[in-house]
Amino acid sequence: MRTFSIASGRGLILVFCTAIAMASEKRLTYKDLPPDVQKTAQRESQGATVRGYSKDVDNGKIEYEVEMIVGGKSRDVSIDPSGKVLEVEQQVALEAVPAAAMAAIRKEVGGGSIRKIEEVRSEAETAYEAQILSNGKHREIRVLADGSTAPEQD
């Protein structure tokens, strides 16, 4: 989740748009998922504790998400309506992050602290998202394995 300053009208518009985007996500139960999504969700969550299911509509595209915990770490799987895995976000240990990506993250963190790092895999790329706390504010840094800035997700 991103934070915005409400000091200007523009900031207020950004907060409003973020609230609308978040409102398009709907919590579901397993039985509410389409059959193909159920099959994928069941396969992807073997050995995990499922925390919940959701449906999101972004730019007219429907996406389902399974939130789970595996070995004490978060893992979220995004699935399209046909049951195809679109993306997997998996919390990883700092040691599992490639050296160039970790160096870029540490540079951005400065005097702040890293709260969590997730490896985000899709067909297009593997990125690392670091959630940090700096000067009392939470923010996210997204880099590729080579340390370059990763494009923002939709």
Burial 6-38 (b: 16+ CB within 10 A, else e): eeeeeeeeeeeeeeeeeeeeeebeeeebbeebb
| 78, 64 Cβ separation under 8 angstroms | yes
The answer to whether the beta carbons of residues 54 and 65 sit under 8 Å apart is yes
Q: Which pLDDT score, from 0 to 100, does residue 52 have?
A: 97
Question: Which pLDDT value is given to residue 150?
Answer: 87
Of all residues in the chain, what percent carry a pLDDT higher than 90? 74
Q: Which residue has the tokens 């996406």?
A: 63
Q: At 53, is the secondary structure helix, strand, or coil?
A: strand
Would you call 139 helix, strand, or coil by DSSP?
A: strand
Q: Using pLDDT thresholds of 50, 70 and 90, give the confidence band for residue 154.
A: low
Average of pLDDT values for 1-9? 38
Average pLDDT over residues 43-67: 96
Query: Span 66-82, mean pLDDT?
Result: 97
Question: pLDDT tens-digit profile of 114-133?
Answer: 999 999 999 999 999 999 99
> Mean pLDDT over residues 83-108, rounded?
96
Residue pair 123/88 in contact (Cβ under 8 Å)? The answer is: no
CA distances 17 to 1, 55, 56, Å, are 13, 19, 15
pTM (predicted TM-score): 0.79
